[in-house]
Amino acid sequence: MRRTDSTNKLFTKNFLLYIVGRLVSLIGSGIQMIAIPLYILDVTGSGAAMGIFTLLSILPRLSVAPFAGVLGDRFNRKNIMVLTDFIRGFLILFLALLSYTNSLSILILFIIQAFVAMFDGFFGAATTAMIPDIVSEDKLRSANSVLGSVNSFSMIIGPILGGIIYGLFGIFAVFLINGTSFVLSAISEMFIVYKVKFSKKSKLNVSSFFSEFKEGLTFIFKNDGLKYLFTFAMIINFLMSPLFQVVEPYVLRQIVKMSAQQYGFVQTFFTIGMLAGNVFLMSFLKNAKNKTLMISGVSIQSLAIFAFTILIFPNILVKFSIWNFFWLTSIIYFIVGAFNTLVNIPISTNLQLMTPSEIRSRVFSTLEIFSQIMVPLGAVIYGFLIDVVAAHILFLIVNFLALAISIIFFVISPQQVYEPKAGGDFDAAG
């Protein structure tokens, strides 16, 4: 395998084209992300319909992840990236045509969404694996920070534009803008120079598919650094993601009685914090050690979450007005978002560095499968616990557990976790 671009600059033509394409399509997706739920509720008034749409945004992507990983390691990743952007763009433009002619139904919307989510899976497997091939190894952490900034900016501006565009011009304009954004993204990506070549593989069939997918899973557990990072990320994701997806909305909306607007702004402060953290990381902490960043990130996040936990204790909560609590919570969420990047960016970068390019799509698809499975499992457990354990106690216990697991991880994990050898060793014969 050889790298497409050996230059030592971060903002090479390839990387600029990559992030421009990502920015355009992510803003379009952000617009649609907020508008489609509004449209479904306007048309059906059904919470069940919203639930079905949410499942159709997740399950198809998860179901194709093993195939996406294998194909991403067999074929040119740039071509997969361009093709899936074009397909998603045309599917969404088809929705625009249907809405313009008043032919759009909820059933058709659900079917198209399922296909879009499937192609999201193929796109993600290819593009995540591409980054280390178009950026030099010493610039990889900065590149991930730039991409994190692009994602955060899109998460801020996209939903804002989505609410405005849907409110003023309707769902047709939303589909038209998002579909066009995918097509423009694909056109931008066509100019990326990507000539990474892998050793020739046998013809793909059922047997070779399972064999190649197994290689990705085996590689993770044969590599000490990957194994530790993988296990740590899965456990923390299982503990913390459902806490903020299930328990936190219950606290802010049902106990604190925040309005929908206040709750939305609190979430926005978290995203702004992530954006600020990524900018700060690539501007001022480029030379910081990965272990220092990760320990600092975990420590400050834990302190901030403990502060939030104290605020929601009943005898403390009653001392604050709703607006005072809102501003305190917003500041805490900003801090959590900012320091979250100090953990996530080194982990993502090290996972990329530890994994040879010829198996990288399969490894990252495997990671996605396990991480996605853990979240709904945790959500079910937390949904049950919230009925039998006070929310502030649940926050306190989970944060203590996450902190304890983090300390154990930092004590026992090998140095390879923090300063990995780029590329690793991959033996296809297993």
- pLDDT higher than threshold 50 for residue 5: no
**Residue 201 confidence class, pLDDT cut points 50, 70, 90:** low
Whether 69 maps to a domain, the answer reads yes
Residue 207 resides in a domain? no
User: Are residue 187 and residue 255 in the same domain, yes or no?
Assistant: no
Question: Quick one: 188 and 245 in the same domain?
Answer: no
**Confidence class for position 1, pLDDT limits 50, 70, 90:** very low
Supply the pLDDT for residue 417: 79
Backbone phi and psi for residue 203, each to the nearest 5 degrees, phi listed first:
-60, 140
User: Residues 97, 144: one domain?
Assistant: yes
CA distances (Å), origin 265, targets 31, 166, 219, 269: 17, 19, 42, 6
Rg (CA), the chain: 22
The dihedral through the CA atoms of 90, 91, 92, 97 has a sign that is positive
Stated pTM of the model: 0.80
Instruction: Note whether 157 and 248 are same-domain residues.
Output: no
Number of neighbours of residue 11 by Cβ within 10 angstroms: 13
Tell me which of 239 and 370 has the higher pLDDT: 239
Residues with Cβ within 8 Å of residue 115, at least 6 apart in sequence: 60, 91
Quick one: average pLDDT of 120-139?
86
Are 233 and 338 contained in the same domain? yes
Read off the pLDDT of residues 254-309 as tens digits, 9 standing for 90 and up.
Answer: 888 888 678 878 888 998 999 999 999 888 888 888 889 999 999 999 999 999 99
Kindly list the distances between the CA atom of residue 300 and the CA atoms of 291, 296, 332, 375, in Å, as whole numbers in the listed order: 14, 6, 10, 23
Residue with tokens 């534009």: 161
String of DSSP letters for 350-396: HHHHHS-GGGHHHHHHHHHHHHHHHHHHHHHHHHHHTTTS-HHHHHH
The domain boundary, picked from 198, 228, 263, lies at 198
Q: CB of 353 within 8 A of CB of 423?
A: yes
Residues 114 and 228 in one domain: no
pLDDT at 364 over 90: no
Confidence band of 193 (pLDDT split at 50, 70, 90): confident
Among 173, 198, 223, identify where a domain stops.
Answer: 198
Confidence (pLDDT) at 67: 87
Let me know whether 295 and 371 are in one domain: yes
Decide: residue 388, CB within 10 A, 0-12 exposed, 13-18 middle, 19+ buried.
Answer: exposed
Residue 3 falls inside a structural domain: no
Give CA–CA dist 359/356, Å, rounded: 6
Domain count, the chain: 2
User: Domain range for residue 384?
Assistant: 215-417
Helix axes 290-311, 322-354, angle to 10 degrees: 160
| Claim to verify: residue 194 and residue 219 sit in the same structural domain | no
Which CATH number covers residue 303? 1.20.1250.20
CA geometry: angle 135, 141, 373, nearest 5 deg: 105
Residues 299 and 404 in one domain: yes
What's the DSSP call for residue 335? H
On whether both 290 and 191 belong to a single domain, the answer is no
Identify whether residues 219 and 278 lie together within a single domain.
yes
| Distant-in-sequence, close-in-space partners of 62: CB < 8 Å, separation ≥ 6 | 121, 368, 369, 372, 373
Residue type, 18: Y
CA–CA gap between residue 39 and residue 388 (Å, rounded): 35
pLDDT per residue over 94-109, tens digit each? 999 999 999 999 999 9
User: In angstroms, rounded to a whole number, what is the distance separating the alpha carbons of residues 380 and 246?
Assistant: 9
